[in-house]
Amino acid sequence: MSTALSPDELAHLPDAEVYQRLQAAKKAMARDLLRDPVTLARGLERVYRMRPHLRVIADALVGLERGDYDRLMVWTPSQVGKSSLVAEWFPFWWLCRHGEDRVAVTSYSDDLAMRRGKAIRRYITEYGGEYDLELLAGSSAAQDYDTTAGGGVRSVSIGSGLTGFDVNVLVVDDPHKDRADAESAASREHVQDWWSSAALKRLQPDRNAVAVVQTRWHPDDFSGRRLEEEGRLEEGGRWKVVHLPAIANPSKFGPDPLSREDGDPLPHPKIRTKNRRALLAWWADVKATSSVRDWHSMAQGDPQPTEGALVSRDLLRLIRDPGGSVEPQKIAVAVDPSGGGRDVAGVIGGFLGDDKRVWITHDMSAAMSSAEWSTTACVLAFETNASVIYVEWNFGRDMAVLALETSWETLQRDGVIPKGHLMPLIDPVRAKQGKLLRAAPVAQQMVQDRVRLRGAFTDLENEWATWQDTDPDSPGRIDASVILVYGLIPDANNGAIVHAPLPQAPNPGTRQQPPSASRYGRRISE
């Protein structure tokens, strides 16, 4: 039953009691806002934009305060609100709950750290009174100030300023300035030395928590080294990781914190969450205006080595060419089906030009089921007027061929492909050598300018430029493009990929339909 009084009832109460009731109600509302940092931010500043990913981050910060874990790192693209939440509202929220604690906010520069410290101080000045949180008289420095409850905040650059300051909560906000800084081995070691010799030594035994928010620049950056040395929480390690890429990819990164499917966009504070089209357009523009490496590190939280085992990024940029004057002589689609423990199916389209080069024109690769990749390959073959579909046969065997035939028939039945349009020849191939031995000759064809890209292909280029022969994964885009090149210029092959065996002859006395022309087309070696 509600105990709230009506306006008439309040009118008959003494002014002192009305004031007390209003103050009590105000305190109750203030306490409700302390559920988590993002609720506090939204309740105190109406301009603060709530988005689902910020709720996920806030819940992780609550787990940190509750003691479910003592180490947290958050990776998201830039400009989506992570730093203001983790490095400003979170410290203020923590001090509202634990006024006696001491918080250190660190970053690659004094200026950035001081900006965070000023924001926290403003929140204390404007809103702290509701939580008995006040600045100590005379404590007005932007970089270092104390509270009347015994707590305080220090905001300094990494590598300086923590001596003599006990720390209960450490926030590390962007430990690396930019890519050049993160790729400098000396700079990375400077950050690691600070962590070992200064940061850890200031943490207190009674209560300590560390929250890291950063752009991933390098596999061995601050977060990379921490995970290498201490591991992830779900794997028996110490660090809770909230990884929110711009475009969800649970098939690669594992379960998405927002339960997004492959290809779903990350919300943005300035775009309505339900406006999926606008979100996809925004991230597509970010991807189009970023280098391959920047997209994967800054937007996807997936930093890649500087160079892989196959080709350099400089070479990949050089072989980009619109190729407007080249006439196709043979058009093909190459497929590396999903399977063998891999979810991404490689579907690559291209042609052999009258200049004797292979031109890669389409990359339709994605995490797909057999029905999806076979349909994608058939539609691409129809739209490009391909004469052959090369399909890797190792895992699916005849089922890979059957999937393509079934999809073509379905597309014709549904009217997507005209019924009279002949199906391309299907040429099943089988890999006889490991990925490096298969891909290296194709990389050499790129060096010799026999393979070109008709435009920029961000994901395909990233796989070629970063894959190492020690990597456990098997990128489908590389395999499909290798199959395409071998199919269109067979002299590059040297036995790395061969034809799948033809079906065995029927036993005497049995009747068997001959294989369709589409299933067993011309051989790559012809």
In the prediction, which pLDDT does 67 show? 95
Residue 509 structure tokens: 């006395």
Confirm whether 3 is domain-assigned. Answer: no
Place of tokens 């000396």: 186
In the prediction, which pLDDT does 510 show? 38
Residue type, position 204, single letter = Q
Residue 60 structure tokens: 């992780």
CA distance 173 to 104: 11
| Residues contacting residue 324 through CB under 8 Å, at least 6 positions apart | none
Q: What is the DSSP letter of 521?
A: -
Beta strands in 337-431 (DSSP E): 344-353, 358-363, 366-367, 388-392, 425-431
In the prediction, which pLDDT does 507 show? 46
Confirm whether 308 is domain-assigned. Answer: no
Are 379 and 424 contained in the same domain? yes
Pairing of strands 451-453, 358-363: parallel
Residue type, position 184, single letter = S
* Residue 65: CATH number of its domain: 3.40.50.300
Confirm whether 275 is domain-assigned. Answer: yes
CA distance 108 to 31: 34
- How would you label 310-329 residue by residue, b for 16+ Cβ within 10 Å and e otherwise? bbbbebbeebeeebeebebe
For 82, 330, 402, 430, 447, the CA distances from 444, given in Å and listed in that order, are 43, 21, 33, 21, 5
Confirm whether 260 is domain-assigned. Answer: yes
Are 109 and 67 contained in the same domain? yes
Q: Is 138 helix (H, G, I), strand (E, B) or coil?
A: coil
Report the length, in residues, of the chain: 526
Tens digit of each residue's pLDDT, the chain (526 residues):
445 656 666 566 676 765 565 656 666 667 789 999 999 999 998 888 889 999 999 999 999 999 999 999 999 999 999 999 999 999 999 999 999 999 999 999 989 999 999 999 999 999 998 899 999 988 777 788 999 999 999 999 998 778 888 999 999 999 999 888 888 889 999 999 999 988 999 999 988 999 999 989 888 999 999 999 999 999 999 999 999 999 999 988 899 999 999 999 999 999 999 999 999 999 999 988 877 778 888 999 988 776 566 788 888 889 998 877 899 999 999 999 876 445 689 999 999 999 999 999 999 998 888 889 999 999 999 999 999 999 987 665 678 889 999 999 999 999 999 998 999 999 988 765 566 667 888 888 888 889 999 988 988 998 888 877 666 566 889 999 999 998 898 776 555 455 555 444 444 443 333 334 444 443 333 3
Q: Give residue 147's domain range.
A: 49-299
* Residue 465: CATH number of its domain: 3.30.420.240
Are 206 and 173 contained in the same domain? yes
Total domains in the chain come to 2
Confirm whether 515 is domain-assigned. Answer: no
Backbone angles phi, psi at 267, to 5 degrees: -60, 160
Are 384 and 256 contained in the same domain? no
Are 321 and 280 contained in the same domain? no
Are 148 and 202 contained in the same domain? yes
Are 323 and 275 contained in the same domain? no
In the prediction, which pLDDT does 9 show? 60
Confirm whether 137 is domain-assigned. Answer: yes
Residue 310 structure tokens: 């196959």
Are 319 and 252 contained in the same domain? no
| Residues contacting residue 282 through CB under 8 Å, at least 6 positions apart | 265, 268, 271
Q: Are 225 and 218 in contact (CB under 8 A)?
A: no
Are 122 and 154 contained in the same domain? yes
> Nearest Cα to 173, choosing from 238, 233, 93, 111?
111
Are 241 and 386 contained in the same domain? no
Are 192 and 168 contained in the same domain? yes
Confirm whether 2 is domain-assigned. Answer: no
In this prediction the pTM is 0.68
CA distance 176 to 503: 58
